[in-house]
């Protein structure tokens, strides 16, 4: 794990101390207050056997963790009753859960109540102290409840509403508010220096928009606007279908040869949610989003770039992309190592069990709001459209 640059404040220091205390807590704060940075700092410092899990693959990768479903061996539709039954077993992660001391759940706002109940039951059965609360481990919840809520599909909604007061984790039958004292980070670092933007974002977040703020936002609305092809506009949509359709439509508009890159998969990647497409199709001129942090610091995960030239070698595609700085970088395939936690010499180590190799970008004229959750700030894309939000 790379060393994490931090700006130490009193509240950051206090939150870090509470994490090290071994007690449960709910860490919250607005976007950009350093919640993910705090997690990374804790993991770099702690001697405790600790893991991070998140409800989505992209959120898990951002904190070098695992999805909740992969960690616990849950499948889509796993129920509390199934987790309580003799049929349930967490599989390859059982030994790690048995030795685990701290589990951090990132992006907790997207954790459904039933999923929280399932993970609590799994910890109670397979944690270091079976039968004890959370299996005897420290459980840390991290997230902003003003951000994206959990997804409950229409066919599930009627049943869900009869079992839970809300889809959020705090409505889970196994959740007790008194067990999770709230620690809130308040200093916004991500937009530091732009007080007007910070004020607007906070007003939207807590529903306290003034008429002046509403006017400032409404002035940015351009009804019927179609972005020029030569400008970097990012459309946020509500569904993968809408985002995929827009990306396909924009790709078809480009008068250039179509390139196809097939991912190379080795070993066991069961439960791994790759950021890149298994079959990536793109053209010169395509708007793409980088999916890695470049070791040479030319781009970060979330940078918007433009494909300007593509060549093929024996090793695969070499793609020239134009970055926001105006510079050009050559991009080749990236190897994502699929790992499994193993307990060794008193610490948790991550053993490589497979790999996923693909060009580290995806088409990005449009992405879903949920996929944008938890991603780094996109300084490279200053033009934003919201599609299909009504």
Write out the chain's pLDDT in tens, 390 residues. Answer: 555 555 678 889 999 999 999 999 999 998 778 888 899 899 999 999 999 999 887 777 777 789 999 999 998 788 999 999 999 999 889 999 999 999 999 999 999 999 999 999 999 999 999 999 999 999 999 999 988 788 888 888 888 889 999 999 999 999 999 999 999 998 877 555 566 776 787 787 777 888 888 888 888 777 777 777 777 788 888 888 999 999 999 999 999 999 999 999 999 988 888 889 999 999 999 999 999 888 888 988 888 999 999 999 888 999 999 998 899 999 999 999 888 888 776 777 788 899 999 999 999 999 887 766 655 544 444 455 565 544
Tell me: do 262 and 172 sit in the same domain: no
pLDDT at 237: 87
Q: Is residue 215 part of a domain?
A: no
Terminal alpha carbon distance of the chain: 41
pLDDT at 159: 83
- Contact (CB, 8 A) for 237 and 369: yes
Burial of 64 (0-12, 13-18, 19+ CB in 10 A): middle
Tell me: do 293 and 155 sit in the same domain: no
Question: Cα(380)–Cα(289) distance, rounded to whole angstroms?
Answer: 10
pLDDT at 194: 61
Task: Specify the number of domains making up the chain.
Answer: 2
Instruction: Provide the b/e sequence for 263-285 (b: ≥16 CB within 10 Å).
Output: bebeeebebbebbbbeebebbbb
Structure confidence by residue, pLDDT tens digits, 370-385:
766 655 544 444 455 5
Q: Is residue 197 part of a domain?
A: no
| Residue 355 structural domain | 233-386
Last residue of a domain, one of 125, 153, 185: 185
Tell me: do 252 and 178 sit in the same domain: no
How far from chain centre, in Å, is Cα 274? 12
Tell me: do 178 and 260 sit in the same domain: no
Q: Is residue 75 part of a domain?
A: yes
Question: Cα(269)–Cα(267) distance, rounded to whole angstroms?
Answer: 6
* CATH code of 24's domain: 3.40.50.300
pLDDT at 378: 47
pLDDT at 389: 45
pLDDT at 6: 58
- Contact (CB, 8 A) for 233 and 383: yes
């Amino acid at each position: 794990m790379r060393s994490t640059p931090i700006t130490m404040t009193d509240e950051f220091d206090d939150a870090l101390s509470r994490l090290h205390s071994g007690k449960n807590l709910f860490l919250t704060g607005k976007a950009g207050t350093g919640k993910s940075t705090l997690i990374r700092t804790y993991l770099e410092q702690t001697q405790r056997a600790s893991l991070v899990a998140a409800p989505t693959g992209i959120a898990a990768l951002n904190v070098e963790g695992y999805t909740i479903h992969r960690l616990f061996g849950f499948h889509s539709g796993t129920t509390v009753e199934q987790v309580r039954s003799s049929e349930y077993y967490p599989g390859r992660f059982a030994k790690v859960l048995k030795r685990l001391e701290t589990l951090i759940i990132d992006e907790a706002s997207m954790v459904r109540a039933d999923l929280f109940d399932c993970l609590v039951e799994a910890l109670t059965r397979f944690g270091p102290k079976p039968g004890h609360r959370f299996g005897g481990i420290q459980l840390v919840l991290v997230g902003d409840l003003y951000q994206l809520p959990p997804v409950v599909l229409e066919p599930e909604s009627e049943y869900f509403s009869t079992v839970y007061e809300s889809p959020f984790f705090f409505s889970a039958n196994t959740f007790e508010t008194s067990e999770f004292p709230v620690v809130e980070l308040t200093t916004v670092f991500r937009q530091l220096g732009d007080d007007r933007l910070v004020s607007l974002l906070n007003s939207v977040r807590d529903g306290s928009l003034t008429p002046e703020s509403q006017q400032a936002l409404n002035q940015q609305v351009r009804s019927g606007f179609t972005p020029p092809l030569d400008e970097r506009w990012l459309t946020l949509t509500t569904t993968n279908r809408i985002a995929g359709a827009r990306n396909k439509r924009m790709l078809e508009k480009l008068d250039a040869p179509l390139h196809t890159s097939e991912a190379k998969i080795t070993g066991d990647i069961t439960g791994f949610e790759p950021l890149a497409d298994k079959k990536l199709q793109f053209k010169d001129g395509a708007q793409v989003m980088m999916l890695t942090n470049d070791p040479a610091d030319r781009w970060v995960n979330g940078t918007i770039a433009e494909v300007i030239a593509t060549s093929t070698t024996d090793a695969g595609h070499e793609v020239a992309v134009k970055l926001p700085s105006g510079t050009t970088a050559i991009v080749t395939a990236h190897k994502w190592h699929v790992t499994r936690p193993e307990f060794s010499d008193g610490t948790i180590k991550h053993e490589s069990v497979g790999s996923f190799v693909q060009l580290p970008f995806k088409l990005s004229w449009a992405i879903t709001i949920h996929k944008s959750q938890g991603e780094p700030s996109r300084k490279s894309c200053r033009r934003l459209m919201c599609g299909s939000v009504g």
